[in-house]
Amino acid sequence: MRKSFWVLILLLTEFIYCSAQVSKLDLVNPFIGTGGHGHTFPGATVPYGMVQLSPDTRLNGWDACSGYHASDEAILGFSHTHLSGTGIGDYGDVLFIPTTGKQQLNQGTAENPDAGYASPKVSGSEAASPGYYTVKLRDYDVKVELTTTAHAGFHRYTFPANAKNAGAIIDVGHTLQSHLNEVNQIEVINDHEIRGYKVTKGWARDHPIYFHAVFSKPFVYKLASGETIEKKGIKNINKIGAKALLQFDRLSDHEVLVKVGISSVDYAGAKNNVLQEIQDWDFAKVKDDAAKQWNVWLNRIDLKGGSSDQQKIFYTALYHTAISPNLFTDVDGRYRGMDKKIHPSSNGSGNYTVFSLWDTFRAFHPLMTIINPSMNEAWVRSMIKKYEESGALPMWELASNETGTMIGYNAVPVIVDAYMKGYRNFDVEKAYKAIVHASTYDSSLVFVDDEVKQGIMPKAKYYNETLGFIPADKENESVSKALEFAYNDWCISQMAKALGKDADYKKFSERSKRYVRYFDTRTGFMRGVNADGSWKSPFNPRFSNHRKDDYVEGNSWQWSWFVPHDVPGLIALHGGKDHFLNKLDSLFKESSVVDGENSSADISGLIGQYAHGNEPSHHITYLYTHAGQPWKTQHLVDSILHTLYFNDPNGLSGNEDCGQMSAWFVLSSLGFYQVSPGNPVYTLGRPLFDEATIHLENGKNFTIRSVNNSDKNKYVSEVKLNGVVLQQLFISHPDIISGGILEFTMSDQPSKK
């Protein structure tokens, strides 16, 4: 009897544990960020997978960067590659859509789906969870279900019982954002298999992709290009706008499954990717395996407390931080490099793509050093590999193409931050050589008449070298570039110091102070400086002319605080803490009106002129703690957590930007944020949950507890680290990875001790 009792208890405990594990999937809402300006997609993927199998609802426009927008009622089809939250669109490769009845050759549009094979959704049929997406297409009465492995997509189409001419369309010509299709090819292998190849020239200037698809039921086919059907019996078409129109002869169970592998390398890679990862037709198993991978990821952090919506926002944010960078290596270890050659991966370390470094150096990569450090090291190794293949560290890399998007050389803080935190599983000397090179020459490839020219010094860096500053009348976006160069150079100085490279340490330390040249003590703002040393006029700190003024995706109100590496120096420029704090107060009290007929749409999520919807503002609330008024940090962080993130498609105040917007929420809701990556110190804020436990990669746990926590009790009265009261509201990276307990005591009144 006693034995049976304990067996029952054990089984009950296991059931409760497994239920708790599975429940985190229910706390993810993949539709957060698919509305407004979030630019996310709701479809199926696995953590950092090569495939993102998701519906496309529109082709062009800023809010269609991911190919999907929650406001659209129709679906154009389901493609296998998507970007998460970027400000520029690309991908949307290899589109499939099931059909019934007569098939159309045109695609139709979001506004007019009846003009082609696109179909409205059946209202209420759309749903998604990590690794799974489903919808019913109204025109065809077909239920679509999607799931993925790392290298392959898996479709399940359930046709109606009385379906006539059940079929599917494969559109290789489909791509997002009106890019040039240079090659579209489809080849029918047999009555169950089909493969294809495309090359697009868009944001990624040279992006080839191969696919290999296997169907569970035999099909008959027609090949077409544009609106022209090819002659019967032709098995291969190599024309722009290539499509395959398939019909299924025998559908006794009304179900067709399709497994699709993709590769940047060749047909063999695509075939190998799908046949190795999906060896049978068990859709439920592949879906379950994807869910298990997501459970492992989501269970890195456990929460207690908070509302249901707050927990869903948190776990969706954690989900969004595991979508990119994406695996770019086939299962056989091959990948297409920056030099367009095919390479084997070395030492079992895969190659990765989609490095949105201007965004992700700020919070995404610091978060990864806590919850995913070995993967972060793999990304550093991948960036160094790109340096070897192209001659420069990536700036904004996409599908082994350097897009040259944004400013600065922000691979540097990612590499330096990893090194300074002790994560050094990469070639340190080569990494150091690469970051120094990034400061001297362009951190991207330079395109001249579509020819790649390496080692060309861009104007901004030329002026920074020769004059010691960047003249506003000679170079666009001069202030933002100069401020980022100063921070990037400070990062280099820290690694130089750690490596005993004293001359470099002195050189880059001096360069890191060049932000001072742009500070106007009369106005208290960072301003453009002309070549003759005069201030650029007229000056309006609220003015923005998107990508055509002195600031990048912002104005002087937002950029005047970007000195994360030397906050005491910035405070001193203002004339001391009192003047600095008064100016900082003004930022949040100023009118939220942004002047200028072409002001940047990225200036969003405004509190005064603070713009949480774009990355340059993300550290600013924590500056109050550095200046001795931490209660203002706590108040503002609390406000942002409660008012600028929602469990809703329009739940983000700006572009998700490959996990950065979500990483800010994860870190800030845990109660800390790293103001200056490269300096392994975190500034404490206001924890959102009663308790959060981070399960560290080294097997230890770091727990954050909030005593007397509530919406009203937003202020911190005391903090203890492992039982010892902290005298300052900062902790180090070793404090976290050593494990232990960080305990906040919360109050409804500011503590001004």
Three-class secondary structure of residue 255 per DSSP: strand
- pLDDT surpasses 70 at 1: no
Cβ-based neighbour number of residue 734 at 10 Å: 10
pLDDT in tens, 125-149: 999 999 999 999 999 999 999 999 9
CATH topology of domain 39-296: Beta-galactosidase; Chain A, domain 5 (2.70.98)
Residues forming a β-bridge with 199:
183, 208
DSSP β-ladder status, 255-263 and 207-215: antiparallel
The reported pLDDT for the residue numbered 458 is: 81
**Whole-angstrom distance, CA of residue 742 vs CA of residue 720:** 6
The reported pLDDT for the residue numbered 4 is: 46
Tokens 């200028």: give the residue.
596
Assign 3-state DSSP to the chain and report helix, strand, coil percentages, each to 5: 30, 25, 45
**How confident is the model over 538-557, as a mean pLDDT?**
97
The reported pLDDT for the residue numbered 530 is: 98
Q: Alpha-carbon Rg of the chain, whole angstroms?
A: 27
User: Considering only 65-69, 523-527, 749-753, which range has the smallest mean pLDDT?
Assistant: 749-753
**How confident is the model over 248-267, as a mean pLDDT?**
93
Residue 156 binned pLDDT confidence (cut-offs 50, 70, 90): very high
- pLDDT surpasses 80 at 197: yes
**Whole-angstrom distance, CA of residue 231 vs CA of residue 222:** 8
Which residues, 6 or more positions from 157, have their beta carbon under 8 angstroms from its beta carbon? 98, 142, 143, 144, 145, 168, 255, 256, 257, 258
538 cis-preceded (ω within 30 degrees of 0)? yes
Cβ-contact 423, 377 below 8 angstroms: yes
Cβ-contact 233, 221 below 8 angstroms: no
Q: Six-digit token pair at 341?
A: 């050659």
pLDDT in tens, 418-467: 999 999 999 999 999 999 999 987 544 444 444 445 555 788 998 999 99
**Nearest to 664, CA basis, from 615, 592, 718, 709:** 615
DSSP-assigned letter for residue 363 = T
- pLDDT surpasses 60 at 241: yes
Residues of the chain with CATH 2.70.98.10: 39-296
Cβ-based neighbour number of residue 288 at 10 Å: 14
Cα torsion for 687, 692, 697, 699, to the nearest 10°? 130
**Nearest to 98, CA basis, from 137, 134, 153:** 137
Residue 162 binned pLDDT confidence (cut-offs 50, 70, 90): confident
**Nearest to 673, CA basis, from 664, 463, 600:** 664
- pLDDT surpasses 60 at 13: no
**How confident is the model over 688-713, as a mean pLDDT?**
98
- pLDDT surpasses 90 at 522: yes
**How confident is the model over 567-571, as a mean pLDDT?**
98
**Whole-angstrom distance, CA of residue 143 vs CA of residue 746:** 50
The reported pLDDT for the residue numbered 182 is: 85
The reported pLDDT for the residue numbered 346 is: 72
The reported pLDDT for the residue numbered 348 is: 62
Question: Which run of H or E residues covers position 390?
Answer: helix 373-390
**How confident is the model over 626-655, as a mean pLDDT?**
98
The reported pLDDT for the residue numbered 526 is: 98
Determine the angle formed by the axes of helices 308-320 and 283-298, rounding to 10 degrees.
100
Q: How many helical (H) and strand (E) elements, i.e. helices and strands, does the chain have?
A: 19, 40
pLDDT in tens, 107-129: 999 899 999 999 999 999 999 99
The reported pLDDT for the residue numbered 350 is: 87
pLDDT in tens, 262-299: 999 999 999 999 999 999 999 999 999 999 999 999 99
The reported pLDDT for the residue numbered 5 is: 44
**How confident is the model over 487-491, as a mean pLDDT?**
98
**Whole-angstrom distance, CA of residue 410 vs CA of residue 387:** 13
- pLDDT surpasses 80 at 314: yes
* CATH class of the structural domain 338-457: mainly alpha
**Whole-angstrom distance, CA of residue 520 vs CA of residue 178:** 44
Cβ-contact 152, 209 below 8 angstroms: no
Q: Six-digit token pair at 746?
A: 């919360």
**Whole-angstrom distance, CA of residue 46 vs CA of residue 54:** 12
Cα torsion for 415, 419, 421, 424, to the nearest 10°? 110
**How confident is the model over 664-692, as a mean pLDDT?**
98
Cβ-contact 108, 115 below 8 angstroms: yes
Averaged confidence pLDDT in the chain: 94
Provide DSSP, 489-510.
Answer: HHHHHHHHHHTT-HHHHHHHHH
Q: Six-digit token pair at 180?
A: 């040039």
- pLDDT surpasses 70 at 167: yes
- pLDDT surpasses 50 at 8: no
DSSP β-ladder status, 180-188 and 193-201: antiparallel
Residue 496 binned pLDDT confidence (cut-offs 50, 70, 90): very high
- pLDDT surpasses 70 at 16: no
**Whole-angstrom distance, CA of residue 254 vs CA of residue 16:** 37
**How confident is the model over 322-351, as a mean pLDDT?**
92
User: Considering only 17-26, 452-461, 545-554, 689-698, which range has the smallest mean pLDDT?
Assistant: 17-26
**How confident is the model over 199-225, as a mean pLDDT?**
96
pTM for this model (two decimals): 0.95
Instruction: State how far the alpha carbon of 95 is from the alpha carbons of 118, 202, 204, 239, 684, in Å.
Output: 11, 17, 19, 16, 46
Instruction: State how far the alpha carbon of 18 is from the alpha carbons of 288, 297, 308, 525, 586, in Å.
Output: 14, 15, 20, 55, 50
Residues of the chain with CATH 1.20.1050.60: 338-457
Three-class secondary structure of residue 393 per DSSP: coil
The reported pLDDT for the residue numbered 253 is: 86
Backbone angles phi, psi at 432, to 5 degrees: -65, -45
413 cis-preceded (ω within 30 degrees of 0)? no
Q: What's the one-letter identity of residue 530?
A: N
**How confident is the model over 652-658, as a mean pLDDT?**
98
How many percent of the chain have pLDDT more than 90? Answer: 90
Backbone angles phi, psi at 614, to 5 degrees: -140, 150
**How confident is the model over 596-621, as a mean pLDDT?**
97
**Nearest to 434, CA basis, from 375, 491, 511:** 491
The reported pLDDT for the residue numbered 347 is: 63
